[in-house]
Each structure stands twice: as C-alpha cells, then as structure tokens.
Structure 1
Amino acid sequence: MSNFTDMMTSMLSGGILTLKLFLIVAVLSVAIGIVVAIGKISKITPLRVILSFYTWIFRGTPLLLQLFFIYFGLPAVGIKLEPMTASVIAFTINYAAYLAEIFRAGIDSIDKGQFEAAKVLGMNYRQTMMKIIIPQALRNVIPPICNESTNLIKDTAMVAAIGVGDLLRGAKEVVMNDFTITPFIAAGIVYLAVISVLVLIFRKLENKYVIS
C-alpha cells in the first residue's frame, strides 16, 4: 500500500508540473505567435527578415537541442537558468515559431476585401487586425492549433532530460525504485486522457467557430 501511495504521489506531482508547463507555454506561445505572425506580414522589410530567420531557426532544429542549448549552453556565457525556467523558454520560443506560421497562414486566408472594407469604415491597421482579421483567422486555424496542443503535451516529457520532475520522470523514478512497469502504463493512460480531453475541446470549438 505504501508503494502504491508513493507511486501515486510521485506521478500526481509530476502530472501537476506537466500541466503547469503546458498552460504557461500555451498562453505565452500563442501571444508571441500572433505578434510574430503580424510582424511577418508587415511592410517593414528588416522586421520580416528577422522574424523569418527566427521561425526558420526554431522550426528547423530539434526542440530537445534547443532545450539543451538554453539549459546547458547558456551557462557558458554566464546565463544560468533553473530547469523549469529553461523549459518554459525553450518550449515557448519553439512553439511560438510554429504557431506564428499557422497564424500567418490564417491571416493570409482572410479575403483582402475585408481590409478595404475596414479602411472605408475609418479603421486603422491595429483596429482592423484586432477587431476583424485576427478573430476570423483564429477560427480558421483551430484544427492546426489542436495538433500543436497535443504535440505540446507529449513534448513536455522532454523536460525530464534536464531534471524537471514531470509526469514521465515521476513514473521513471518509481520504475527504478520498485522494478515495475506499471507507472509507465499509468503515465501513458494519463497522457492519452489529457490529449483526448484537448481533442474533444478543440473539436467542439471547431464545430462552433470554424468558417467553412
């Protein structure tokens, strides 16, 4: 009974940390992704070039490499971060790069006539983007955002590589102590359950908001 209690305590603690990481990264990456997407379609050429380089780098290199660079590499130049902080930064800049491309595609999918209509109504660029374009773009990109969300849940397991006590690390510790694979099975069930709930939520949002 004690072993079972210890297993559940360890996995519960790891599960809470995994969920915390997911929520923080989701909020930050969506916000940054929208800003980057708007910057990539701006008329300021240097800004477009810089942001294109950013998305090229972080979409073209492995997330685990980025995590290792931030946690193990930055101390070489005097920047030492806590494992959780390094994880949040690595995941946020990586997923923001992917989401920026998704949001950019969503914005490009909006009929250009709506920009002209907003201009006729006296709206400036910021008002047009915030009140007309971005809300419609977000509806159009719900399916790919769902895919990225499920990927994020699974990718959080990578943080165990730098010592963050996430769900997978909690399961691994129990396995090593008790020589049983039950925690791995339990962890897999938890991941499947969380992802299933996410997919269900996004499916409902898609049915309600996606523009056909």
Structure 2
Amino acid sequence: MDFVETFLNWEVFQRTFPMLWKGVWNTLALAGVILTLGAVWGVIVCLIRLYAPKPFRVLAIIYIDLFRAIPILVLLVLVYFALPFIGIRLNSFTAAALALSLVFSSFTAEVFRAGIQAIPKGQLEAAEALGLPFRVTIWKVILPQALRIAIPPHTSNSVAIAKDTSLASVVAMPDLLKQATDAQALTANPTPLIVAAIMYLIVLLPAVRLVSYLERRFSNA
C-alpha cells in the first residue's frame, strides 16, 4: 500500500466526510461560545480586579492566577467527571464550553488589565472632572481605548483557545478531532486524521493572518 492509498485514500474520505463535516460545525459552535462567554466574563473580571473593593479584587486575582495556571486538560476532566459527584451533571458540550471559557476569561482579564493600565490616568481624572458616572466613564472612555491596545493579544489568545477546542474530545464532545479519531477507528485508515488537520488549517490560518494584520495595524496607530 503506497503513501496516497494510506494517508489520502479517496474512498475513505468519501465515507467519512459527513462525520468530519459535522465535527467542523461542532468545533465552530464550541469556539463561538467560548470566545463570546470568555471575552464578556473576562472583561467583567478585569474590572473587578481593578476597581472593586479589596476583598473582591483579591478574589479576582486568585481566579485569574488559578485558571491561567491550571492545565486545560485537567480542568476539562474535573468539570466533566468530578462535578457529578456533587450533583452537577453537564453534557460534553457544556462541560467543554465552561472549562475553556474559564481559561479564556482569565487570559482576557489580564490582556484588558494591561490595556486599561496603559491609558494615561488623566483620562479618568478628566472624566471625573466632567461629572461622568463611573459606569459611563468605563463604557465610553476607558474600554474603547483599552480595546485598541488589547485587540492584538486578545485575538492571538482567541486563536490559541480555538485550537485548544480539540481537547474537548477527551470528554467525548464530538468535535472535529473526536470525529476524525472515530472515523479512523471505523475505517482502520489515517486518512480522516489528515483531512481533519487540513480542515483545522483552513479554519485557523486566516485567523493567524488576522492576528499578524492587527498587530501591524495597531502598532502603527
């Protein structure tokens, strides 16, 4: 059996493509949920970290440090397999989305903290002098400026967490990698894994190029 017949088998590809296509959409759905929830919660945690009373700031620091340090694979196993022991049962999609969102939110919080702290303090003082309420100052003055600073690293983190969705296969979530490994076992041929790798590249390469563009764009702004 030659290389093409082993790794690029057309017949195997045709048989397994529906499984892989389903995996692509599951992966995109999972990534979308993670990026949305993680970004929103990360900004909230960042604001707590910077402006809340001290006890809440300490809790936010612990949260950020904990979820930045814990390996994603360990967190996935804990969320999916350990929570049922305290009466919380989550399906594989929800467990994966929760675990990865917690991790992504911690990195998002740090990125936006750096962005906010890079803004001159005079901006906040000027808003206070104008009598703007604190929530308006944050929403209208601070966050828009912090966003410009945070976009490149935040986009880079988004690509990284999108790649990490492949770890969801550990909790039997039918993402692209899980579907590919199942298809490989079904056909006894590695072609589905090669096709899955190509699909990951098709999805992620444009995102990687977007990161490079944003880094150039905002470094020159």
> Aligning the two structures, in what range does the TM-score lie when normalised by the shorter sequence?
over 0.9
Map 1:28-177; keep pairs closer than 5 Å. 28-177=37-186
Contact kept? 2:12, 2:192, Cα under 8 Å: no
Deviation track 1:154-192 (CA, whole Å, cap 9, x = no partner) reads 100111111111001111111112122222121111112
Distance 1:192 1:138 in 2: 28
Sort the Cα spacing of 1:160 and 1:206 in 2 relative to 1 into closer, same or farther, 3 A: same
Give the aligned length. Answer: 212
1:43 shift after superposition: 4.6
Distance 2:17 2:111 in 1: 38
Deviation track 1:11-69 (CA, whole Å, cap 9, x = no partner) reads 00001000000001101100000000011001500110111111111111111111111
Is the counterpart of residue 6 in structure 1 residue 15 in structure 2?
yes
Determine helix, strand or coil for the equivalent of 2:51: coil
Contact kept? 1:142, 1:205, Cα under 8 Å: yes
Distance 2:122 2:220 in 1: 17
Deviation track 1:133-156 (CA, whole Å, cap 9, x = no partner) reads 111111101221122111112100
Contact kept? 1:140, 1:211, Cα under 8 Å: no
Sort the Cα spacing of 1:199 and 1:4 in 2 relative to 1 into closer, same or farther, 3 A: closer
Unaligned runs of 5+ in 1: none
Is the counterpart of residue 17 in structure 1 residue 37 in structure 2?
no
Distance 2:87 2:191 in 1: 42
Contact kept? 1:153, 1:191, Cα under 8 Å: no
Amino acid at match of 1:163: A
1:205 shift after superposition: 4.4
Determine helix, strand or coil for the equivalent of 1:26: helix
Distance 1:135 1:101 in 2: 16
Amino acid at match of 2:63: Y
Distance 1:100 1:43 in 2: 14
Sort the Cα spacing of 1:188 and 1:131 in 2 relative to 1 into closer, same or farther, 3 A: same
Contact kept? 1:139, 1:210, Cα under 8 Å: no
1:79 shift after superposition: 1.0
1:206 shift after superposition: 4.6
- Computed over aligned residues only, the root mean square deviation of the Cα atoms, in angstroms, reads 1.7
Of all paired residues, the percent bearing the same amino acid is 35
1:211 shift after superposition: 6.6
Distance 1:123 1:175 in 2: 60
Determine helix, strand or coil for the equivalent of 1:41: helix
Is the counterpart of residue 189 in structure 1 residue 189 in structure 2?
no
Unaligned runs of 5+ in 2: 1-9
Q: Choose 157-166 or 177-186, whichever is displaced more.
A: 177-186
